[in-house]
A and B are shown apart, each in its own frame.
Chain A
Amino acid sequence: MLLIAGTVLVKDMPLTIGEVKADRELLMVNGYRIPCAQGTGAMVSAALATTEHLGLEPPHVLLAGDTGRGSGSRDIYEYLIENVVGLSPTVLALHYCLPDMALTGKLCEAVARCARRPVMIADAASMYAAKAAGLAREFDIFTPDSSEIAFLADPDATHPAYIARHLFDTAVADIPKLVSAAYKCKGATRLLLVKGATDYIVHDGKIIETISEPDVPALEAIGGTGDTITGMVSAFASAELEPHEAAILAARANRMAGKYAEPTPATRVGVVVRQLPAVYRNHLCHWSGVCYSEGVQQ
């Protein structure tokens, strides 16, 4: 089971867990409608498009409404701490939340008690909390963008707003240098997907792949197009691909979906997500060697 946990902007939505379904432009979970917008909604939408194409069970999601005060975030952490052993997900992907270092620590302790340790993925503020708490190595995959890799490379920062100025400057010019620094200060996971003008796939400090085509600069301005990558990585990981394979496919698919969408900086992320079925039909077999015909693996 792929379990995605994160906050959504549906005000007053209580903690809810369940299988996610698509309902036209929205996501449906236990009767709640979630927009495919920047954040966890975009991530889940991309993960669902991926599992649908692969003929896999849809993602399970653990969601709570939270517009910044943190109560929904704490509900998510606490529920996972109490229940992750029983839920026994194969992949646990953590996303938007109010970062809480203490609760992240307790969650990692709980995960260690799982009979089979899930693949642990973190993005957004869940990644901030894991790094700030010194727990990056308890996770398998982080998916930072260029400013966030600067944060992972700063041994003292607990949030990207407090990174050293020279690292922020370096984030534009020299990602490999920041990658190296992030591993040195133990701010990185075994597998990193650094999202940007060029996507870097890094395994144990070594850059094993770079992806820069198709080049769709407008994607950087569109809120949620980093979230979609993390959703796809999570879904591919739940298909038991190796983390680096999942990351490479996700980066390629996101760029191609961007190309199909012909976006401007004013485009919404939902337009990009809607391209994923066509991207997978046209390219996934060629990229991965894993080919499907009418839901049957060949």
Chain B
Amino acid sequence: MSLLKRRKPSFEGGGLVLFMDVGDAMRAEKVLKSARYAVKLVAPPPELRRGCDLAVAINLVEQPGIERVLGDKETPYVQVAPLKAGTSDLLDIVKTTDFSDWTMVKAGNMKLTFEKDSGIIVNTSGGGCPDIPHLHAELVGKRLDQAPRPKDIGFTLCALMLDLALEESLNLWQGDEK
């Protein structure tokens, strides 16, 4: 049963991909549309302009997936930036909690917990993007150094924060191993 009348996807997403030249921007739009991302060519505001006066508007939450597609298709870009003036840089700090036999690492809205002895990921929590339950299923039960990286198989900023937590967990666990 079809429940929907299909509409064109929207792209009011709060993010821009910035480019050095117009050709790169136009190629990126084509590449991203082929990958079924909702994007649009726009003029970046002066404060965000880095190279040319053309940018691709994106849903900022999809930043990791979009950067991966551009990388895979060898499409150069300068950076992805939040559209809203005053937005802070991407969080890069983590906090850890000691649960005796386990360590929980928190990065942004995401948490990853691993067993200290074995390095097995026992839980992930937090977040709210649709790839997070999928990543939970993919990561839990695997050893930190054998688990897939969320930045490689996820698509959203929640996945990027989970990747940051995984990276720090690896550092902690491998540091303890030495």
Contacts and interface: CB of A to CB of B under 8 A. Distances in A.
B137 A9 contact: yes
Nearest to A126: B128
A163 B160 CA distance: 14
Contacts of A82: 4-5
Contact of A79 (B3, B102, B125, B137): B3
Contacts of B136: 37-39, 223
Interface residues of B, number: 65
A265 B108 contact: no
Interface stretch (A97-105, A205-213, A273-281): A97-105
A238 interface: no
A270 to B, nearest CB: 13
A124 B97 CA distance: 22
A26 interface: no
A125 interface: yes
A223 B128 CA distance: 11
B88 A68 contact: no
A43 to B, nearest CB: 11
Given A158-B14, A165-B88, A68 B108 contact: no
Nearest to A157: B87
Contacts of B7: 78
A37 B91 contact: no
A101 B12 contact: yes
A38 B132 contact: yes
A258 B90 CA distance: 33
Interface in B130-164: 130-134, 136-137, 140, 154-161
Contact of B108 (A16, A73, A100, A161): A161
A162 B88 contact: yes
Interface string A95-131: 1111111110100000000000000000111111000
A66 to B, nearest CB: 4
A68 B125 contact: no
A165 B92 CA distance: 9
B104 A265 contact: yes
A165 B90 CA distance: 9
Interface string A216-251: 011011111110000000000000000000000000
B108 A160 contact: yes
Interface of B: 3-7, 9-15, 36, 38, 59-62, 65, 82, 84-91, 93, 95, 97, 99, 101-102, 104, 106, 108-109, 111, 113, 115, 122-134, 136-137, 140, 154-161
Can you list the 4 inter-chain pairs with the closest CB atoms, starting with the nearest? Answer: A124-B128, A68-B131, A68-B155, A266-B122
25 contacts: A41-B133, A82-B4, A96-B129, A98-B130, A105-B12, A127-B128, A128-B128, A145-B109, A145-B126, A156-B82, A156-B87, A158-B15, A158-B87, A159-B60, A159-B61, A160-B161, A161-B157, A162-B91, A165-B91, A168-B91, A221-B125, A224-B125, A226-B125, A264-B101, A266-B102
